[in-house]
Amino acid sequence: MKGLSAILALGLAVSASYGAERYKDRMFDVDVESDVVYATDVNHLSLLSPLSTMMTQLMGQGRTVYLYESETDMAPIDLHMDIYTPKGDTEKKRAAVLVMHGGAFAAGSKDDMEQQSVTYCDSLAARGFVAIAVQYRLGITATLEEKVLTIDSLNFSRTVYRGIQDVRAAVRYVRSKASDLGIDKDRVYLLGNSAGAILALENIYMDKPSEVPAVAHDAPDLGELDIYGVQGESSQANAAVALWGGVHDPSIIGETASPVLLVHGTADSTVLFKTGRPLGNLANTLGVNMMMLKLAGINSISINTPTLYGSFVVDSVLKAKDVEHETYFVDDMPHEFYDEDGYGVKVREKVFSFLYGLTQKPASTKVLAVATARPSQVRMGEGNMNFTVASGSNLPYAVMDLRGRTVMSGRVSQGEVVGFETLERGVYVLRVKGERPLRFGLAK
């Protein structure tokens, strides 16, 4: 009887999977490789504010709120991703989806169950995608004066920019490992929730240094878009799903024709559907009520976030440019309306349908060509102990440590040798006018 039961079970399994289609139906068990490093020595805020501990205790449930004292105390960290793959799958040119969680840029994690990151990654890998849950830098500089918790607009913009750098580095890393991961470089997609949706849209649309907010290069300078991680691959994904997201400036949408799916509730007061300052209700977003805050000595929260242009505006621009895209806008729904009237299932169905549709079209290569810039004129000497420039005259240069502090500066012309004998052992960033930043190490 046991043999008969096994045969019947096998028959049921075969019949259940009969007719299943890759990217559309669950077909596979899932393997997970956790904490894969995709970028090293990434400069990050390091001095946590007492407010962080306070807010974390108020939230409970083991969720940390990352609030920092200043923009000047920095330390290098590594960034990680969790990679979900279809178990036993032999396909070598699969579509990949990078998943970015939400959490107001101050909370959340790549294995966040509440934000459904794990749910999406598992479901996508079971359908034949390679799914990647991405860690990006969290943390906002905040102050508490006269019982008012304040977040400054400029510092918040810098927080978002750090996340943009990280997602770009993650995309490049995945493409650089295309052969190992069995993916198609021309089918790399993004799926972002809330803060993650903002990062997804910024990745698709912000592709020029001139579009970078000026505050990113205030002191300490956060560096260029692609300063961290592997180089030599395109940083922009081929398509994006943005669940209640927006962009910092609609003009960055430009002529990019990458497919997007915009999901948003029209009553969203966290990331506004139209235009406004996001996170005005940060306490509610993080699950903390004002009574709890008052018990902790906080009478009010002043959130001075920069203006964000929500899905309605992005949709309007794409329509005006006649760019094909999809929307799922739900009247009177709030932020992250997963738990409202079964909309969690409906949202997931829209997401899976959109991603499946992408796989049925020719792979997009429009945004994948790496810009053919002129070769770098910077030449590093033996052991990185000096540098020269192959052309140019009286070019300003600066050397910064991983805390963003300028440790050397001056001007250099063709034929001159600039030595680093005065620098201590460590990792530095060299910036020469007109050239991309160059990270180098000294092992003396």
Q: What angle do CA 255, 208, 241 make, to 5 degrees?
A: 60
Q: What is the pLDDT of residue 10?
A: 44
Which pLDDT band, with edges at 50, 70 and 90, does 368 fall under?
Answer: very low
Q: What is the mean pLDDT of residues 94-114?
A: 90
CA distances from 19 to 90, 130, 332, 358 (A): 18, 21, 39, 20
Please name the residues in contact with 54: beta carbons below 8 A apart, sequence gap of 6 or more.
Answer: 296, 298
Q: Which residue has the higher pLDDT, 111 or 182?
A: 182
Residue 304 CB-density burial (10 A; 0-12 exposed, 13-18 middle, 19+ buried): middle
Which pLDDT band, with edges at 50, 70 and 90, does 170 fall under?
Answer: very high
Q: What is the pLDDT of residue 213?
A: 87
Which pLDDT band, with edges at 50, 70 and 90, does 76 fall under?
Answer: very high
Q: What is the mean pLDDT of residues 225-240?
A: 94
Q: What is the mean pLDDT of residues 319-344?
A: 88
Tokens of 226: 């692609």
CA distances from 190 to 35, 141, 229 (A): 19, 27, 18
Tokens of 431: 């910036």
Q: What is the pLDDT of residue 83?
A: 98
Q: What is the mean pLDDT of residues 324-330?
A: 94
Distance CA 258, CA 238 (A): 6
Which pLDDT band, with edges at 50, 70 and 90, does 373 fall under?
Answer: very low
Q: What is the pLDDT of residue 437?
A: 74
The gap from C-alpha 57 to its chain's centroid, in whole angstroms, comes to 27
| Nearest by Cα to 143 from 299, 294, 301 | 301
Q: What is the mean pLDDT of the chain?
A: 85
* Whether the predicted pLDDT of 356 surpasses 60: yes
Q: In 10 A of CB 346, how many CB atoms?
A: 16
Least confident of 3-17, 125-139, 193-207: 3-17
Which pLDDT band, with edges at 50, 70 and 90, does 442 fall under?
Answer: confident
Distance CA 242, CA 228 (A): 24
Tokens of 30: 């899932």
Q: Are residues 259 and 265 in contact, defined by beta-carbon separation less than 8 angstroms?
A: no
Q: In angstroms, what is the C-alpha Rg of the chain?
A: 23
Q: What is the pLDDT of residue 68?
A: 87
The gap from C-alpha 91 to its chain's centroid, in whole angstroms, comes to 27
Terminal Cα-to-Cα distance of the chain (whole angstroms): 73
